[in-house]
């Protein structure tokens, strides 16, 4: 799926199979988990566009939050609704400073709401395989633990 700068959906991921089902042409957006698997629609070189803030600026402008270091079970998110509830660990932020580790927390919400709630984006784009992201801050997120 691609979006232009105005946030308008322009295209979905299509491999040759899904494109044929939809009466479209493949846009080459497919991969497979291993040599044993069959290709399916997926991204390559997919990332959140970097912003202008440094990591330190985002932290210093955060009154209270958690820097998520690890999220466990995101594959369990509902692919239709986007709802999720997963385990997480990270570092607490209080009054613009990293204060202590956070373990065994639970975060829940909706992935689309998270994307809509992004209120700060860093300049530190980093790729993890075929997907990348800079540091970003979400206005609010349900956290327990």
Q: Where are the domains of the chain?
A: 2-44, 55-144
Q: Using a pLDDT cut of 90, give the percent of the chain over it.
A: 52
- Statement: residue 42 has pLDDT above 90: no
Which is more confidently placed, 30 or 137? 137
**Rg (alpha carbons) of the chain, rounded to whole number:** 18
**Mean pLDDT of the chain, nearest integer:** 88
**Other CB atoms within 10 A of residue 102 CB:** 18
CA distance 74 to 86: 6
**Other CB atoms within 10 A of residue 15 CB:** 19
CA distance 12 to 71: 26
Average pLDDT over residues 67-76: 88
Confidence of residue 107 (pLDDT cuts 50, 70, 90): very high
Q: Which of 12, 137, 4 is nearest to 67 (CA)?
A: 137
Q: Three-state SS for 141? A: coil
Q: What is the pLDDT of residue 6?
A: 62
pTM of the model: 0.75
Which is more confidently placed, 19 or 11? 19
Instruction: Give the angle 55-59-60 at the CA atoms, nearest 5°.
Output: 115
Which is more confidently placed, 5 or 78? 78
Find tokens 């299509």 and name the residue: 14
**CA distances, 17 to each of 11, 21, 25, 33, 44 (Å):** 16, 6, 10, 17, 18
Which is more confidently placed, 43 or 88? 88
- Statement: residue 102 has pLDDT above 70: yes
């Amino acid at each position: 799926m691609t979006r232009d700068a105005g946030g308008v959906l322009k295209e979905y991921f299509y491999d040759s199979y899904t494109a044929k089902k939809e009466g479209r042409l493949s846009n080459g957006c497919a991969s497979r988990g291993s040599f044993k698997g069959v290709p399916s629609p997926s991204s390559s070189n997919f990332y959140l566009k970097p912003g202008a803030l440094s990591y330190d600026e985002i932290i210093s402008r955060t009154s209270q939050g958690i820097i998520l270091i690890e999220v466990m079970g995101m594959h369990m998110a509902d692919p239709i609704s986007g709802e999720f509830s997963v385990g997480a660990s990270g570092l607490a932020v209080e009054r613009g400073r990293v204060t202590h580790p956070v373990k065994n927390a639970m975060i829940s919400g909706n992935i689309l709401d998270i994307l809509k709630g992004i209120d700060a984006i860093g300049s530190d784009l980093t790729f993890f395989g075929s997907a990348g992201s800079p540091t970003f801050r979400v206005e609010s997120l349900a956290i327990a633990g």
